[in-house]
Structure 1
C-alpha cells in the first residue's frame, strides 16, 4: 500500500460491506408496510426527543451560575460550588451512559428509556428545591451539586437507550430521509433545549426583577421537569425497535474478543471526535452568558445579559437544521469533516479579533461571530457524531458501543467546563487574552477532528444498519460462533454448552 492509498479518505477503516453469509437483507419498500406515517415516526420522536432535557438542564445552569454568583458572592466565589454545580452533572452522565448502555443491550431499549425518564423528572424537581440544613448557603449549594450529579445519570440514559432506539427506528422511514429524522429528534432537540435554556432566564428575570433572583433561579431549574413529564405516556407505549428484536444478544453470551477485534479502531476514532466536540460545545454553551456579562459590564441589567445570550444560542438551530439535510445529501462523514473545518476557521478568527469584538458597543458583532462558531459545530460533529456512533456497529452491541463513545464525549464536556474558567483565569487581569485562550484551544482540536473524519471514518449510507448487522453475523459465522440464539425469538434455539461459550468468548473457534 502506498502513502497515497493510506491517505485516501476513509482508507484507514474498511468500508461497510454486505455479507451473503448472514442471509439476504430485507429490502421491502417502507411504502408497502402496514404501518401508518405516524406509526413509523412516533418511535423516532419518543426515543430521541428526551435529549431536549440534556440541552435545557445543561444550558440553563450557566444562567443559574450567573445569578448565584451575584447572590452569594463570598460563599460562591470562594468555594468549589461553581465548578461542581456545572461539572458534576457530566460525571453523572458518564455513570448513566455506562449503566444504560449495558441495560439497553442486555435487557430492553424501551424500559431503559423509561427508567431514565423517571430519574430526569425526580432530580430536576429536587434540584429546583435544593435546601441546606438550617438554611445554610453552603449546604444548599452542596445539595444542588449532589442533585445535579444524580440528574446526570438520567440524562446519560438518554444516549445509549434513547438515541440508539431512535437510530434503529429510522430504518422504517423512507430512504434518503433517515439521517435528518434522527438528527431532528436528537441533536436538534438538544439545541432547542439550549435555546429555551437561554430564553427562559430572560423571561423569568423580567418577571421577577433583579430583586427576586432567589426565586428566579429555582423557577429556571423547576421548568426542567416539564420535558421528561411530557414523554411519559409515549415512552410507556413504545415497542422494541425491529432491528433490536431481530439481532439482540440478550439471550446469549457476548463474544467480546471477536467484537473488540472488529470494532476497537472504529470506536476509538468515534470516541475521540465526540470528546473534542463536547469539550468545546458544552463549555462554550455553558459560559456564553458569563462571556456576554463580561462584555456588557457589571452594571448591565441581568435581563440584557440573558437576552444577548439568547441571540447566541439561537445560532444552534440553523446549524443543526441545515446540517440535517447536508448529512442526507453528502453523508455523515463528509458533513462532519467539512463542518468542523469551517468551525476551526471561525474559531481562529474569533480569537484573533476578540479584543475588537469584546466591547459593549460591538456586542452585536461579538454575539454573531460567537454564534456562527457554535452553529458550524452543530452542522458538523453536533449533527453527525451521534449518528455515526449509532450506525458503525452491529445492533447486538450498539448500546454499549454507543455508550463508550458518548461517555468519552461527556468526559470531554466535563473537562471543557472545568478548564474553561481556568484558561480564562490563567491570563490574570488581561481578560481579553484570557477569553482568547479557549478559542485557540478549541479551534486547534477542531483541525484534529477534521483529519480523523476525513481519513479514519467509513462512509455511512441510508441502509448501513441493515448491512452492518448482516456483515456482523457473517463475521461471527466465519469464526465459528453460533448465531442461532440472536434475536428475541432465539429462545427456542439450542443453547451452546458452557465450555463452548467460553471458547467462543475467547475467540478460539476459528
Structure 2
C-alpha cells in the first residue's frame, strides 16, 4: 500500500496532469504542454527525497547491517547470485511491458481514434481512465498477496494477465473500432490491473525479502536497476514490435500484446520453478542462514551491525591479538 500503490497513483497523476495542462492550453502550444507536465513531475520526487532523509532504520536492520563492515562480495554472489538473477529477470520482464504500455497507451488510443482529429484532451482523458485501472489491481493485490503469499500472487497475476492479453490481441480488430473505445479501455485496464496485482505488487517485495538484511540494499538496488533497464529497452523496442506489423494496422497493435502475454507466461514459469515462498519469518530465516554461511566460510560475523566509528575491538569476544591488529 505504501510502495507500489503510490507508484500507481503516480501513473494516474502523470496521465491527468497533461490532460489538465492540455485543457488549459486549449489543445495547442504543444511545447508548453510537455515542458509544463515534466516540470510538475519534478516536484513530487523531491518531496519524497526530503521525507526519506528523515526516516530511521528499524533495530533489526541495524543489528544485521553491513554498512560499516567489509562486504565479502564473492561469498555473497555465490550465496545469492542466482536468486538475484531470477528476481532481476522477472523485474526486467515486468518493466519491459508495463512502462512500454503505460507510455504508449495514448498512442494506442490515438490509433483507435484513427484520423478523426481527436483533441489531446480526449486522448489524455481516456489515458487517465486506463491508468486508473492500476489502482484496483494494486489495492486488491495487497490482501491477495497476504492471503496466498507473494510468490503465488505473482504467478497467478501474470498467468491471468497473459490470458487477457491474448484475448485482446485476438479480438483487437473489433475492440479497435472508435465506437468500442469504452470496451477497449475496460479490457486493457483489466490487463494492466492484473499486472499490478501480480508482479507490480510483489516483485519489489520479493526482492526485499529473498535475501539477508546485510545485503538487502544492494540486492534490491541491482534488481530494481535491471528492472528500469527493462523499462528503457521496452520503450525502445516497442515501436519496432509495432513496426513489424507493417501496413496492417490491426497486426501493428496485436504484436505488442502477443509479446507481452508470452513474457507473462515466461515470468510465471520462472517464478514457479526458481523463486522461494516468502512469509512473515523469511527475513529472520535468511539472516540466520546467511550468518551461518559466512561463519562457515571464515567471515567474522561480529562485523554485522557495526555502527559508524565502531570497530571489531569494540565487540564482545575480541581478543588481545585482534585488538592489536
Q: Same fold (TM over 0.5)?
A: yes
How far apart, in 1, do the equivalents of 2:28 and 2:155 lie?
47
Residue 387 in 1 paired to residue 236 in 2?
no
How far apart, in 2, do the equivalents of 1:318 and 1:232 lie?
27
Tell me what 2:83 maps to. 266
How far apart, in 1, do the equivalents of 2:222 and 2:160 lie?
27
How far apart, in 2, do the equivalents of 1:292 and 1:311 lie?
11
Tell me what 2:312 maps to. 493
Question: 199, 213, 226: which is aligned to 2:43?
Answer: 226
Residue 193 in 1 paired to residue 10 in 2?
yes
Deviations 1:306-346 (A, max 9, x none): 11111111100000110011111111000000000000000
How far apart, in 1, do the equivalents of 2:55 and 2:84 lie?
29
How far apart, in 2, do the equivalents of 1:249 and 1:322 lie?
35
Residue 283 in 1 paired to residue 100 in 2?
yes
How far apart, in 1, do the equivalents of 2:35 and 2:231 lie?
24
Tell me what 2:31 maps to. 214
How far apart, in 2, do the equivalents of 1:317 and 1:493 lie?
48
SS at match of 1:362: helix
Residue 480 in 1 paired to residue 293 in 2?
no
Question: 257, 261, 280: which is aligned to 1:462?
Answer: 280
How far apart, in 2, do the equivalents of 1:236 and 1:486 lie?
23
Structure 1 stretch displaced more, 348-357 or 456-465: 456-465
SS at match of 2:165: helix
SS at match of 1:494: helix
The Cα of 1:232 is off from its aligned counterpart by: 5.2
Question: 126, 131, 137: which is aligned to 1:319?
Answer: 137
SS at match of 2:302: coil
Corresponding residue pairs, total: 314
Tell me what 1:133 maps to. none
Tell me what 2:160 maps to. 342
Residue 417 in 1 paired to residue 235 in 2?
yes
Contact 1:485 1:494 in 2 (8 A): no
Tell me what 1:235 maps to. 52
Which structure 2 residue ranges, 5 or more long, are not aligned? none
Contact 1:323 1:379 in 2 (8 A): yes
Contact 1:278 1:416 in 2 (8 A): yes
The Cα of 1:436 is off from its aligned counterpart by: 0.5
Contact 2:22 2:28 in 1 (8 A): no
Residue 245 in 1 paired to residue 62 in 2?
yes
Question: 247, 252, 262: which is aligned to 1:444?
Answer: 262
Contact 2:150 2:206 in 1 (8 A): yes
SS at match of 1:363: helix
Question: 271, 283, 299: which is aligned to 1:453?
Answer: 271
Contact 1:424 1:431 in 2 (8 A): no
Deviations 1:84-115 (A, max 9, x none): xxxxxxxxxxxxxxxxxxxxxxxxxxxxxxxx
Deviations 1:349-385 (A, max 9, x none): 0100111111111111111111111110000001000
CA spacing shift, 1:411–1:293, aligned 2, 3 Å: same
How far apart, in 2, do the equivalents of 1:347 and 1:475 lie?
43
Tell me what 1:151 maps to. none
Tell me what 1:292 maps to. 109
CA spacing shift, 1:188–1:356, aligned 2, 3 Å: same
The Cα of 1:211 is off from its aligned counterpart by: 2.7
Tell me what 1:108 maps to. none
Deviations 1:453-510 (A, max 9, x none): 12211110112222211221122112222111211348242399xxx9xxxxxxxxxx
Contact 2:161 2:194 in 1 (8 A): yes
How far apart, in 1, do the equivalents of 2:54 and 2:266 lie?
43
Deviations 1:392-447 (A, max 9, x none): 11111111111221222112111111111111122222111011001111111111
Contact 1:246 1:489 in 2 (8 A): no
Contact 1:339 1:377 in 2 (8 A): yes
Tell me what 2:74 maps to. 257
CA spacing shift, 1:229–1:430, aligned 2, 3 Å: same
1:27-46 matches, within 5 Å, as none
Deviations 1:201-257 (A, max 9, x none): 112111210233332222211111321343355333222332331112233221222
Q: TM-score, normalised by structure 1?
A: 0.59
How far apart, in 2, do the equivalents of 1:221 and 1:368 lie?
27
Tell me what 1:430 maps to. 248
Q: TM-score, normalised by structure 2?
A: 0.92
Residue 374 in 1 paired to residue 175 in 2?
no
Please list every run of at least 4 consecutive aligned residues from structure 1 whose deviation after the TM superposition is greater than 6 angstroms.
Answer: none
Contact 2:69 2:306 in 1 (8 A): no
